[in-house]
Chains A and B, each alone.
Chain A
Amino acid sequence: MNYFPDEVLEHIFDFVTSQRDRNSVSQVCKPWYKIESSSRQKVFVGNCYAISPERVIERFPGLKSITLKGKPHFADFNLVPPDWGGFVYPWIEAFARNNMGLEELKLKRMIISDECLELISRSFANFKSLVLVSCEGFSTDGLAAIASNCSFLRELDLQENDVEDHRGHWLSCFPDTCTSLVSLNFACLKGDVNLAALERLVARSPNLRSLRLNHAVPLDILQKILMRAPHLVDLGVGSYVHDPDSETYNKLVTALQKCKSVRSLSGFLEAAPQCLSAFHLICPNLTSLNLSYAPGIHGTELRKLIRHCRKLQRLWILDCIGDEGLEVVASSCKDLQEIRVFPSDPFVGNAAVTEVGLVALSSGCPKLHSILYFCQQMTNAALITVAKNRPNFTRFRLCILDPTKPDAVTNQPLDEGFGAIVHSCKGLRRLSMSGRLTDRVFLYIGMYAEQLEMISIAFAGDTDEGMQYLLNGCKKLRKLEIRDCPLAMQRF
């Protein structure tokens, strides 16, 4: 089997990058297993408790980059007790003890302490990238340690973390010699930042391509930063509070004119008044727009902005865009592939979008394949139309704010509607359902959803039969989330 020396095989394996493919390669034969394991640099662990750090180190001595996921998805919604676990410290401690050359760490839903961040910053000389998504347990002191000690830091990306803010001086901790930053995202931080330090940091980071600011960065600083970083590809605006007649605003327009590379826009964490015409300049090149944290942007100004975004592929928005606004999206954004519509006021229970917006999107956007839609109501007729319009859905997640609400017109369960979706969308991999649903919908899913890998169910079904249909039918199912379904659970 082995006609090639190991080095050749290793070289060939370098071209195999996806985790699944590398796992397959490693199972061909023992020599291939050995070569693949010793040469693998990027490891993905979908459940931090599925394997011990020692075992990972033993198998992949050349590990440089690791992604770890901790708590289950339901933890995002406070459905998992806070003492569940998902601590990363044992991993870092093991890596440090074994002198691993760790360069990249990506964590999702894990608990990471300041001590751990400090350990990372001191133990790995070539540490380059820290990405934390939905993590907790740390403060800005930990960030200060990373900033101070990681001399070659390229990426510090904090997405939606719960960070204790000690009125950060952490930004000032980046030494003057640190010029390697490519990506900095601190949009989730609640406190103030040292604005002068931020400006200086941007000025000495020629490779900076992605910058997402938090709410404490005002417009005049934004404008100065943009002047220094015209090559930005991804921009997260912090605070957008301004006077449209002011000098600052004019300077912002000038700065934005120079930013010809921006493809992704987000933020606007505070926006008043709404005048966004300064950004109309960069809209035509945008492929990704995230206004889901910007309730201050809605109505006419929002629609005007969207109309300029002809190349948009990904849109995250609040439901205050309304069905009307979604119709504008459908008519303007023909390249749209993914959309997420979040409720702007989840506690009120009144979403401003309905089945009308969903149907408009499905008919107007031929490339749309991934949707997360929080809405007020849904009908079977609408879902059937959507299924007919858009058989290319791979991810379909529908959340009706009243979780057991039936068809808004006929008062029937939504079984037929979801049935149509799974029947028509042959490539569907992920499905989340809500509304009034009986066992029938599981019958449909079991029959038709052959590619389904992940499903989330809440308040659905009548008996265990529903679950049986599902589990017997969906051969590729990997992840199942259930809550509040009337199942006896004895047979499973």
Chain B
Amino acid sequence: MQGGFFGGGSGGSVCMSTVSMEDNVVMSSEDSSSPDEGELELGLGLSLGGAAGFKGSGPRGCQQYARILTAKDLPSKVSSSSSSSTTSSSSTLSRAIATAGTKRTADSVAASNGVASSQVVGWPPIRSHRMHIMVNQAKSQVTEEFSSMNKRKNAVEEKVGNKNINTDNTKARTSLFVKVNMDGTLIGRKVDLNAHGCYETLAQALENMFLRTTTTVNMTRLSTPEHKNMIDAKRHSQLLGGSSEFVLTYEDKDGDWMLVGDVPWGMFTSSVKRLRIMRTSEATGLGK
């Protein structure tokens, strides 16, 4: 990496001979014995370009140093809908910036939903661009030939099985994350369509994500399972039945906005690009 530990790569004397206090590349440690004026202190750490150090000399001069970033400083990638909402509500300013930051970051947060090995930030060490492509390729693979997709899944499962590695069916499946936005809500969510096999569970998941605050209160008042089923059924119809304030729609491959629920599930997942929970009043004009 080129992070200024030792003042720059193989451009030996180009960098080192002219590194001066203004250049201030490397960070000193938090050792209290401060270095002499004009002497560079080499230390471990990711060089933080941001603030004062690299815009020329600041009044703090050689006392500038930076903390080594750890996973604590970076947005928690441990995902599940509840933890990401906790993060955004309680985060510090820097974390909020990082979370809201690059598209890369947001996508990799979503993509690492619910899987153990990726609950660690930045692990496995794969370039964000490559991670992006993996997620998007999983999506487009669904749109292409179904049979080749299934063959591949089986092949991977087979190979992995041969090595006596523990697998289960869910692990061999690829994810198909699509964005979900709801009218009136600024921040969108992402949902893995492949984690659901039918419209009902998808609708339920979306309702949990977006409408939970209004229905939760009602739910707790009822104690019998019978009532709970009734509520569930009612909730099902909230998004699918068109009898509530909101309706679930999706943008397909051709860029058209369609009502969710008309076509078979498989056809739906192969053509969906993103979802939108639209106000029923706006949705007039959609439909078969």
Contact = CB atoms under 8 A, between A and B. Distances in A.
Do A and B pair up? The answer is yes
Interface of A: 19-20, 23-24, 26-27, 43-47, 49-52, 55-56, 59, 69-86, 108-109, 134, 136, 160-162, 188, 190, 215, 241, 269-270, 272-274, 292-293, 295-296, 298-299, 320, 322-324, 342-350, 352, 354, 356, 374, 376, 399, 401-403, 432, 454, 456, 458, 478-484, 489-490, 492
Interface stretch (B10-18, B179-187, B230-238, B240-248): B10-18
B11 to A, nearest CB: 5
B122 A399 contact: no
* B-side interface mostly: loop
B234 to A, nearest CB: 35
A28 to B, nearest CB: 11
Given A51-B15, A69-B2, A296-B144, 20 more contacts: A23-B13, A50-B8, A52-B23, A72-B2, A73-B1, A76-B127, A78-B74, A85-B49, A136-B102, A136-B104, A270-B144, A296-B141, A299-B151, A346-B118, A347-B175, A401-B124, A402-B117, A479-B1, A480-B44, A492-B44
A348 B171 contact: yes
B170 to A, nearest CB: 9
A111 to B, nearest CB: 10
B50 A82 contact: no
Contacts of A86: 49
B101 to A, nearest CB: 4
Contact of B148 (A272, A354, A432): A272
A458 B120 CA distance: 11
Q: 5 closest Cβ contacts across the A-B interface? A: A73-B1, A46-B9, A72-B3, A85-B49, A349-B117
A160 B132 CA distance: 10
Contacts of A273: 145, 148
A315 to B, nearest CB: 16
Contact of A51 (B23, B31, B122, B134): B23
Nearest to B1: A73
B48 A347 contact: no
Given A84-B49, A162-B129, A484-B70, A45 B44 contact: no
A341 to B, nearest CB: 12
A88 to B, nearest CB: 13
27 contacts: A23-B14, A43-B14, A47-B8, A47-B9, A59-B18, A72-B46, A76-B128, A77-B123, A77-B127, A79-B121, A81-B48, A81-B98, A82-B101, A82-B102, A86-B49, A162-B128, A215-B140, A293-B130, A295-B152, A345-B174, A347-B113, A347-B115, A352-B163, A354-B165, A401-B117, A454-B1, A489-B44
Contact of A347 (B5, B69, B111, B137): B111
A71 B167 contact: no
B14 A324 contact: no
Nearest to B147: A273
A45 B15 contact: yes
Interface string B97-118: 1100111110010011101111
A346 B8 contact: no
B50 A83 contact: yes
Interface string B12-56: 111100110011010001110000000000011011111000100
Given A80-B46, A273-B145, A343 B126 contact: yes
Contacts of A20: 10, 12
Interface stretch (B80-88, B154-162, B265-273): B154-162
Contacts of B129: 134, 160-162, 188
A305 to B, nearest CB: 15
B50 to A, nearest CB: 6
Contact of B122 (A52, A77, A109): A77
B121 A44 contact: no
B172 interface: yes
A74 B125 CA distance: 8
Interface string B207-234: 0000000000000000000000000000
A77 B127 CA distance: 6
Contacts of B49: 49, 71, 84-86
B233 to A, nearest CB: 34
A190 B129 CA distance: 11
A56 B8 CA distance: 14
Contacts of B44: 480, 482, 489, 492
B155 to A, nearest CB: 5
B118 A44 contact: no
B69 A72 contact: no
A402 B120 CA distance: 10
A20 B13 CA distance: 8
B159 A79 contact: no
Contacts of A432: 125
Contacts of A296: 137, 141, 144, 148, 152
A27 B120 CA distance: 46
A81 B74 contact: yes
Contacts of A59: 18
B189 to A, nearest CB: 18
Given A52-B23, A320-B159, A492-B29, A47 B124 contact: no
B127 to A, nearest CB: 4
B128 A51 contact: no
Contacts of A136: 102, 104
A44 B10 contact: yes
Nearest to B135: A347
Contacts of A349: 115-118, 171
A350 B25 CA distance: 40
B195 interface: no
B133 A293 contact: yes
Given A23-B13, A69-B9, A160-B130, A483 B122 contact: yes
A320 B156 contact: yes
Contacts of A456: 125
